[in-house]
Amino acid sequence: MSAGSPKFTVSRIAALSLVSLWLAGCTSSSNPPAPVTSVDSGSSSNTNSGMLITPPPKMGATTQQTPQQAPQIQPVQRPVTQPMQTQPVTEQPVQMENGRIVYNRQYGNIPKGSYTGGSTYTVKKGDTLFYIAWITGNDFRDLAQRNSISAPYSLNVGQTLQVGNASGTPITGGNAITQADAAQQGVVTRSAQNSTVAVASQPTITYSEGSGEQSANKMLPNNKPAGTVVTAPVTAPTVSTTEPNASSTSTSAPISAWRWPTDGKVIENFGASEGGNKGIDIAGSKGQAIVATADGRVVYAGNALRGYGNLIIIKHNDDYLSAYAHNDTMLVREQQEVKAGQKIATMGSTGTSSTRLHFEIRYKGKSVNPLRYLPQR
C-alpha cells in the first residue's frame, strides 16, 4: 500500500481517530476528584491521595475527648470519698456517752468515792441519785435525805447537790431509808409536838394515824424496858398505852415474830464493812412468793433505784423498815397496809443477773443483819 493511495489515507485517518478518542478518554478520566473519594472511604489505591489524607484531624478529635473524660471521672469520685471519711465521726457521741458512764454502768469498774469536786455536785444528763452517791462515797438514802429528795428521786440537769461537808468528806449516818423520808419526817414533827405522856429517861415510840403499827410493834424488838409509854398522836385526844410483853430488849436477839420473806438458800450474807452487802440475798425460782416479814405500811413500790430492780419498802414502825428488791411483779401499792406473811411480790431478777431476793432490815436508818432477827431454820 503506497502512501498516496486512497486506502492508505483512510487507514491513517481511522488510526488518528482512534488515537484522538483514546486521548479524549484519558483526559476525561483524570478530571474526577479521586483523591477526595479515597480519603473519605479510606482507600489507598490512588497514589495521589497521600497528600490529602488527614489523620491529624482524627487524632486531634481523639485528643480533645481525653480531657473531657478526665473531668467526668474526678467529680464523681471526690463527693463519694469525702462522706466516707466523715462517717466515723458519728461514733463520737457513743464514746462521749461511755466516757461519762451514763448508761449500762458497771459499778464494779467504777471506783467508789472517786469524785473530787468538793462538797457539791452538779447533776449532768444521765445521772441518777445512786450513781452520784456511788462516786461521792455516800449512801444514796443519806444523800437523798440531805438534799430533801423524795421517791422516785427525780433529778434535774444543773441541780446542785450537797454531797459532803465543807472539807469534802462524804455524808454518813442519817435516818431511815429515804423512800419513806417524807412520812418519817412528818411523824417526827408530830412526835415533838405531842409527846406529852412520855416517861422521863425512857424512849418513846410514836405512831402516825391509821398506820396499824401498834400491833406490829408487839413483834418488833425495841431498845426500851418494859413499861415504856407508847404515844399515838392522832387528831383525837392522845391515848397512852403501856406496851405489853416487851421482854426482849436487845436488838441482836432472835425475834420469832419476824417471818422469812421467802423460802430458799442464803447465797450472800450481810457485810458490815464499808461497801459490803447491806442485807442478805436468797436464791429461788422466778414467780416464787415474797411475803411481808412483819405488819406494816408500804412506803415505796417502784423501780427508780438503779441496781434494785422492782423494790418494795415496808415501814413497820418509827424504828424498823424492811426492803425487798429484784421482784418480778409487785402486788402491793404505796400506803397500803400489809400483814405479816401477806404475799407482796413474786421473785424475779430485775436489776440483777440471777433470780433472787435481796432483803434488808434497817433499824433507825442503819442496816442490820437480818439473820439476827429472822427465826432460825
Distance CA 318, CA 320 (A): 6
User: Quick one: 157 and 184 in the same domain?
Assistant: no
In this prediction, residue 104 carries a pLDDT of 54
Residue 35 CA, distance from chain mean position: 86
User: Quick one: 279 and 345 in the same domain?
Assistant: yes
Is 87 a member of any domain?
no
Task: Name the maximum alpha-carbon separation found in the chain.
Answer: 188
**What average pLDDT does the segment 47-60 reach?**
50
Range with lowest mean pLDDT among 139-143, 257-261, 300-304? 139-143
**What average pLDDT does the segment 162-166 reach?**
66
Range with lowest mean pLDDT among 21-35, 264-278, 323-337? 21-35
Q: Given a cut of 90, is residue 336 above it in pLDDT?
A: yes
- Cell digits for 325? 428488791
Residue 368: which CATH number?
2.70.70.10
Q: Given a cut of 60, is residue 302 above it in pLDDT?
A: yes
Closest by CA position to 341, among listed 276, 285, 289:
289
Is 252 a member of any domain?
no
**What average pLDDT does the segment 196-218 reach?**
34
In this prediction, residue 119 carries a pLDDT of 85
Range with lowest mean pLDDT among 7-11, 160-164, 285-289? 7-11
Helices (H) and strands (E) in the chain, counts: 8, 15
Q: Is residue 266 within 8 Å of 272, Cβ to Cβ? A: no
Boundary-marking domain end, from 162, 196, 214: 162
In this prediction, residue 25 carries a pLDDT of 62
Task: Of 99-113, 157-171, 348-362, give the range with the top mean pLDDT.
Answer: 348-362
Residue 283 CA, distance from chain mean position: 27
Distance CA 191, CA 231 (A): 8
CA distances to 170, 180, 225 from 114, in Å: 11, 28, 44
Q: Is residue 170 within 8 Å of 359, Cβ to Cβ? A: no
Q: Is residue 367 within 8 Å of 279, Cβ to Cβ? A: yes
| 3-state SS class at 363 | strand
Q: Is residue 166 within 8 Å of 133, Cβ to Cβ? A: no
Distance CA 330, CA 288 (A): 12
Is 303 a member of any domain?
yes
Boundary-marking domain end, from 210, 227, 242: 242
CB-based burial of residue 268 (10 Å sphere; 0-12 exposed, 13-18 middle, 19+ buried)? Answer: middle
Amino acid at 240: S
The DSSP code for 320 is E
In this prediction, residue 324 carries a pLDDT of 96
CA distances to 1, 83, 330 from 255, in Å: 172, 71, 27
Is 260 a member of any domain?
no
User: Quick one: 325 and 271 in the same domain?
Assistant: yes
What per-residue string of b and e applies to 187-223 under the rule 16 or more CB within 10 Å gives b?
Answer: beebbeeeeeebeeeeebbbbbeebebeebbebbbbe
In this prediction, residue 75 carries a pLDDT of 53
User: Quick one: 270 and 315 in the same domain?
Assistant: yes
Is 88 a member of any domain?
no
Global confidence as pTM: 0.37
Please, which pLDDT band fits residue 117 given cuts at 50, 70 and 90? Answer: confident
Boundary-marking domain end, from 226, 242, 258: 242
Q: Given a cut of 80, is residue 4 above it in pLDDT?
A: no
User: Quick one: 276 and 227 in the same domain?
Assistant: no
In this prediction, residue 204 carries a pLDDT of 33
Is 257 a member of any domain?
no
- Higher per-residue pLDDT: 61 or 74: 74
User: Quick one: 229 and 277 in the same domain?
Assistant: no
Sole residue written with cell 401477806: 342
Range with lowest mean pLDDT among 165-174, 265-274, 338-347? 165-174
Average confidence score pLDDT of the chain: 66
Closest by CA position to 111, among listed 135, 130, 131, 129:
135
Is 368 a member of any domain?
yes
Q: Given a cut of 50, is residue 186 above it in pLDDT?
A: no
User: Quick one: 334 and 280 in the same domain?
Assistant: yes
Range of the domain at 117: 93-162
In this prediction, residue 294 carries a pLDDT of 92
Cβ-Cβ contacts under 8 Å for 374 (sequence gap 6 or more): 254, 258, 259, 260, 293
In this prediction, residue 229 carries a pLDDT of 39
User: Quick one: 151 and 182 in the same domain?
Assistant: no
Q: Is residue 320 within 8 Å of 362, Cβ to Cβ? A: yes
User: Quick one: 290 and 364 in the same domain?
Assistant: yes
CB-based burial of residue 94 (10 Å sphere; 0-12 exposed, 13-18 middle, 19+ buried)? Answer: exposed
Task: Look at the chain and report how many structural domains it folds into.
Answer: 3
User: Quick one: 309 and 351 in the same domain?
Assistant: yes
Count of CB atoms situated within 10 Å of the CB of 291: 18
| 3-state SS class at 351 | coil
pLDDT tens digits along 225-262: 334 333 334 333 333 333 334 333 333 333 458 899 99
In this prediction, residue 9 carries a pLDDT of 74
Is 255 a member of any domain?
no
User: Quick one: 220 and 285 in the same domain?
Assistant: no
